[in-house]
Amino acid sequence: MSKENELSEMYNKLTQELRRGILVLAALSQLKEEKYGYALINSLAEKGLDIEQGTLYPLLRRLESQGLLDSEWNVEGSRPRRYYLISPEGTRTLEDLAGEWRSLTNVMEKLLDGISIEGEQNESN
């Protein structure tokens, strides 16, 4: 494996780790109204956050087992769909996580102040 490939693989892993932490917050934030999995993926994608189905479905199951989501099957449409809705416990957790997120982004903005972003650098070139 070339050095460039190694760096690229490492970058992908780091990006995945970075994103993994925010997926819970992102999913909870979009489930104040009940949604089935694919609708949630679309909702997140519309707002700019792409998430793989293979990642989202297990995450929804985990959040449900932790009591942060409720779910029920709806068989009225063309096919059965499992709808998820944030639970009262999930709502409290979402508020706490949102506070934590805002505080973190403030700190990170200060820490990253002056560090150029690759895309922006390319644009300016």
Partner 1 sequence: MSLIDRYIQEVGRHLPRKNRADIKTELLSSVVDTLEDRFGTEPSESEVEDFLKEFGQPREVAAAYFPEGQYLIGPSLYPLFRMIAWIVVAAVLGAQLLAWGVAVFIAGESFSILELLGSMLTSIPVSLGWLVLTFIILQRFEVKPDLDDEPWDPQSLPQVNEEEDIKRGELIFGLVFGILILALVFFFPQWIGFVTAPGGKFYPNPVIIQYLGWVKASLVAGIGLNIYLLWQGRRSPVSRLVKIAENLFSIFVLALLVQGHNTWLAARGAGGFFDTLESISSITGGIWELVGMHAFRMAFGVALIVTVIETLVMLYRIVRGKVQARTITVLPPASA
Count of residues of this chain found to bind partner 1 when the rule CB under 8 A is applied: 15
Burial of 69: CB neighbours in 10 Å, binned 0-12, 13-18, 19+: buried
Angstrom distance (rounded) from CA 30 to CA 33: 7
CB of 79 to partner 1, least distance (A): 5
Angstrom distance (rounded) from CA 104 to CA 97: 10
79 SS3 class: coil
CA neighbor of 31 nearest in space, from 89, 107, 106: 89
User: Going residue by residue from 21 to 40, which x/- string records binding to partner 1, judged by CB under 8 A?
Assistant: ---------------xxx--
Query: Pairing relation of β-strands 69-74 and 35-36?
Result: unpaired
81 binds partner 1 (CB under 8 A): yes
55 binds partner 1 (CB under 8 A): yes
Tell me which stretch binds partner 1 (CB under 8 A): 9-17, 72-80, 96-104, 105-113. Answer: 72-80
114 binds partner 1 (CB under 8 A): no
Angstrom distance (rounded) from CA 95 to CA 18: 20
Of 6, 9, 13, 58, the one binding partner 1 by CB under 8 A: 58
66 binds partner 1 (CB under 8 A): no
The residue (of 43 and 91) whose beta carbon lies closer to partner 1 is: 43
The residues binding partner 1 (CB under 8 A) are: 36-38, 52-55, 57-58, 61, 73, 79-82
